[in-house]
Amino acid sequence: MPSKSIVAAALLLRLAAAQQSVWGQCGGIGYTGPTTCAAGSYCSTLNPYYSQCLPGAASTTTTSSTTTRSTTLSTTTTRTTVTEGTTKTSTRTTTASTTTASTTTATAISCASNTPPAGAGNVQYAGINIAGFDFGCTTDGTCTGLVSAPPTQQFQHFKSDGFNTFRIPIGWQSLTPQLGGSLSGLISQYDSTLQQCLQTGAYCIIDIHNYARWNGGIVGQGGPTDDQLVSLWTQLAQKYASQQKVWFGIMNEPHDVNIQTWAATVQKVVTAIRNAGAKTQNILLPGNNYASAGAFISSGSADALLPIKNPDGTTTGLIFDIHKYLDSDNSGTHVECVTDNIDSAFRPLSYWLRCKGRQAILSETGGGNVQSCVTYMNQQLTFLNQNSDVYLGYVGWGAGSFGASYELTETPNADGSDTLLVKQALIPQFHP
């Protein structure tokens, strides 16, 4: 029979393990983590969706904390697109259960008020994903090279709609056919497309569409090395350092990664981009779980990515990259929409962003060209507009080389008119 001292020690260990660290979330609608705060802090209810462990009564010290989180993800998603004789199939099948230890340094931030400032009301950026260079890339990071270069006249078409931001995805293998090699492959054609985007005066996002992978291997986690991804981004940053309207989307939809290891990889890329001369352009930081806005906090992505800094120690231009679809399983594979994502994703995330003094951009969102999606998309984008101090904008998915048969097509119709969702939601919601 164990002694009383051993039993007491074991009980204390279990209690400590169940405690949230300072600055961590400790409550809110939908939250399932620890609700007791570590010694010296207390759980402060900021709103129905977010409670946070705050130090003392009014402490302003900088605190380092270590947390352990267990995350389980199991989803199956298939995206199939037919465009000009080309079929793009992307299957998401993941079952993962990982426990990772994270060390986060947080700076004291006042969260006494968590309402949008009076000036909020209109996001600054909105536009469309112009896809095609990413065709043939699947969620295991394999890219077949079966690309379909997008029609560049779409940039001017959507610019005339009032949009000012375009995201142009491309497979890593299309830019550097050899890992760690020099830019080659489709770089000339991609650059020509990017220049057409820039000529409209819009902001143009380079998006590496590889899911944190190369041919099945995870970057920095048994697959390509951090240095090989750094090499790619160093070359791109050097090439576009003088283009202030080029933004750098580090990676599309990482999934099933060790988030702390991935955050360390992202930090190396950020440092490399800045040191390559791109000092001021926005860099988009993606989290785990396919960059889902709804899982950004609960998956540990928020805590892991928060400490990433520029070489000068600031976070200027470091924007969290989030995605959210409106169908039944957030897969973007169904025509009908069933949610506006506000209470499940954007409201709680807005509280966290405001508490931390940070911003995010919704670089992928979409739905079918049906009335349910028009309704829910308008509600979602209205909320982003109302919270434009923390949400910079939205980019619809997708146009470019997508054909009329694609469930979420935003490619202009044959007569030059816009699709229903673009015309009745994406355009009218953007009034910067």
**Which positions are annotated as active-site residues?**
253, 364
Phi-psi region of 298 (alpha: psi -120 to 50; beta: other; left: phi over 0): alpha
Using CA atoms, how far apart are residues 269 and 387, in angstroms rounded to an integer? Answer: 29
> By the 8 A CB rule, do 350 and 387 touch?
yes
SS3 per-residue string spanning the chain: CCCHHHHHHHHHHHHHHCEECCCCEEECCCCCCCCEECCCEEEEEEECCEEEEEECCCCCCCEEEEEEEEEEEEEEEEEEEEECCEEEEEEEEEEEEEEEEEEEEECCCCCCCCCCCCCCCCCCEEEEEEECCCCCECCCCCECCCCCCCCCHHHHHHHHCCCCEEEEEECHHHHCCCCCCCCCCCHHHHHHHHHHHHHCCCEEEEEECCCCEECCEECCCCCCCHHHHHHHHHHHHHHHCCCCCEEEECCCCCCCCCHHHHHHHHHHHHHHHHHCCCCCCCEEEECCHHHEHHHCCCCCHHHHHCCCCCCCCCCCCEEEEEECCCCCCCCCCCCCCCCCCHHHHHHHHHHHHHHHCCCEEEEEECCCCCHHHHHHHHHHHHHHHHCCCCEEEEEEEEEECCCCCCCCCCCCCCCCCCCHHHHHHHCCCCCC
- Say which residues have a Cβ less than 8 Å from residue 424's Cβ, sequence separation at least 6: 374, 378
Positive or negative torsion for Cα 252, 257, 259, 262: negative
Using CA atoms, how far apart are residues 363 and 252, in angstroms rounded to an integer? Answer: 10
Query: Chain-centre distance of CA 69, in angstroms?
Result: 20
Size (the chain), residues? 432
Using CA atoms, how far apart are residues 294 and 289, in angstroms rounded to an integer? Answer: 9
Position 20: which residue type?
Answer: Q
